[in-house]
Structures are given as C-alpha cells and as structure tokens.
Structure 1
Amino acid sequence: MELPERNVAFLLHDVARLMRKRFEQNARDLGLTRSQCQVLAHLARNEGIQQSGLADILEVEPITLTRLLDRLEEMGLVERRAHPTDRRIRQLHLTDKAPPLLGEIFAVGAVTRGEALEGVSEEDRDRLFAILSSMKGNLLGRLTTNAGDRRASNG
C-alpha cells in the first residue's frame, strides 16, 4: 500500500490547497476572496464569455458563479452585457475599475508562487513544470479518449 506522503495525487492536492490558503493570506488587503480573484483572472483571459462558459472553466455550479458575479458587479468590477444578436445571452465584461486590481491580484499570485518555490533551483522548476505538463497531457488524452470510447459504445 502506498503511503499518502509518497502518493503524488495526495501531494499535489496538499500543495494546491496550501497555495490557495497562502494566496488568501497574501491577498487579504485586496478586499476580495480567492474565488472572486479567480473569477476576475479568468474573465480577463476570456472577456465577453457567457456565464455558463465561465462556470465550466472554473468548475463551479452556475448558481455559485451567479453569486460571485453579483458581488463583483456590485463592486463595479464586472458587468453583464446583452449579446449583440441573441438577447437571451448575457456576456461578461470587466469594467475600467478592474485592470488595476487585476495587476494586484497577479502580483499576489507571483509572490505566492515565489514563496512556494523558494529554494527550488531554476533547473528543478523547469523539470517540475515539464513533469506536471506531461502528467496533464497524459490525463487530458485519457479523458478525451475515454469519453469517445463511451460515446462509441453507447451509440
């Protein structure tokens, strides 16, 4: 039996959890939760996205995202705009007030990553990134393959 401390999945989970917790500590002065920061960061990369698409990216329930967006809209950071051709669709956009805050969010993220990687050589950082990227690619390939296999066997 593999011990939890030698299990890569347990370790990855713990590191991710601790990085989220440390980000929250470092971001305390921003007046935003980690979840709100995450919404803003993803919205900056996907300006004009529909709410359902952003919920998929964030892997949260649409109602959870609605509450986060309501709060961010109240803060004047996000706005929902009508789609140009389909009035049922609302697209999400950052307001002019968001970019300076995003700069601070990204800076806090950089500080947090720096703390996590303190004492890790550049060579080891590169190797870690390459290994994690390979793992991600392996899993994405299997997810895609397995989903296709299931569709083919159900068809």
Structure 2
Amino acid sequence: MSIETGYRLADNSRQLRRLFDERVRGLGITGPQARLLLSLERNPGENQAFYAERLEIEPITLTRIVDRLEEAGWIERRSDPADRRARILHLTDKSRGIVTRLRVSVEGLFEEMLAGFDAGERAVFADLLERIATNLAAARQPEVAHG
C-alpha cells in the first residue's frame, strides 16, 4: 500500500461529504444539521459534548446548530440527571419525518457510490471499513501494552 491509498481515501471522504451536503440542502437543511439529526437517531440520549466530539466541531458551534434545530422544533434539550450543567439532546416527534427523508437520501447516495458492486463486494467492503475503524480506534488508545 502506498501513500496514494491514503490520499484516495481522504479524497473520497471529502467528495462524499460534499455530495451529502448538496443532497441534504435539497431537503432544506444544512450538512451539519443533518449530521447531528442522524447522529441523534443513531446515538440517542447523549449530552451536547458527546455530539460535538462525534461531529468533530467546537461545542459553541454545536450549540448554534442545536439552537436552530430547537427553534424549528426538531430537537429538544433536557437536563442531564447526572450533571445539572449538561443537557441531553433528543429528537422530537416532529423531526421523525426529516430524519426519515435524510436516511432515504443517504441510502440513495450510498447506492450511487457503490454502483457496480455486487452483494459480495459490498459485504467485503463493509467488513474492510469496519476493520479499518477498529485499527484507527486502537491507534488512538494510549500505548498501555507497549509501556
């Protein structure tokens, strides 16, 4: 494997994010707002710090996104019983429609991305991505075993 593979992976990721942002804009929502809504669906009931880290954005940026989505009635903040300074984010019933449309849009985007891949290739690709994610997560862990 060469460094070109890394460049290709990063470039594909950038292109996918750009296309995602363009598609969700057609639904009347920004890319960061859509990523937060989908993250709330996938990882419900976490505090704002969790989502800021997950989306790799500053907490103040997340707060602005949350403010807009809360004004639209798509999410709500609730007090965290474990930490009264923290707020837990939740999807509202009103947001279910947009989240469903986002999911359909993303699934269509992935179908386009994987056009020409048969079921076996898709399964291998998903497995390889999972292994890469595991390796990257392990690389971020403190080197306890090597110390």
Under TM normalisation by the shorter chain, which class is it?
0.7 to 0.9
Relative to 1, partners in 2 of residues 1:11 and 1:49: Cα closer, same or farther, differing over 3 Å?
same
Question: For residue 19 of structure 2, what is the aligned residue in structure 1?
Answer: 22
Question: For residue 40 of structure 1, what is the aligned residue in structure 2?
Answer: 37
Structure 2: gaps of 5 or more residues:
none
Q: 1:27-77 CA deviation, whole Å, 9 max, x = no partner?
A: 232110111000001112232211111112222110111111111111111
**TM score, norm. by length of structure 1:** 0.83
Instruction: Using the TM superposition, name which of 119-128 and 58-67 deviates more.
Output: 119-128
Q: Which amino acid aligns with 1:37?
A: A
Identity among equivalent pairs (%) = 36
Please point out which of 38, 55, 59 is paired with 2:56. 59
Relative to 1, partners in 2 of residues 1:88 and 1:140: Cα closer, same or farther, differing over 3 Å?
closer
Q: Which amino acid aligns with 1:90?
A: R
Distance 2:133 2:81 in 1: 36
Structure 1 segments of 4 or more deviating over 4 A? none
Structure 1: gaps of 5 or more residues:
none
Deviation of 1:132 after TM superposition, in Å, equals: 2.0
Instruction: Using the TM superposition, name which of 34-43 and 121-130 deviates more.
Output: 121-130
Question: For residue 68 of structure 2, what is the aligned residue in structure 1?
Answer: 71
Name which one, 1 or 2, has greater alpha-carbon Rg.
Answer: 1
- SS of the aligned residue for 1:93 comes to strand
Alpha-carbon RMSD across the aligned residues, in angstroms, is 2.0
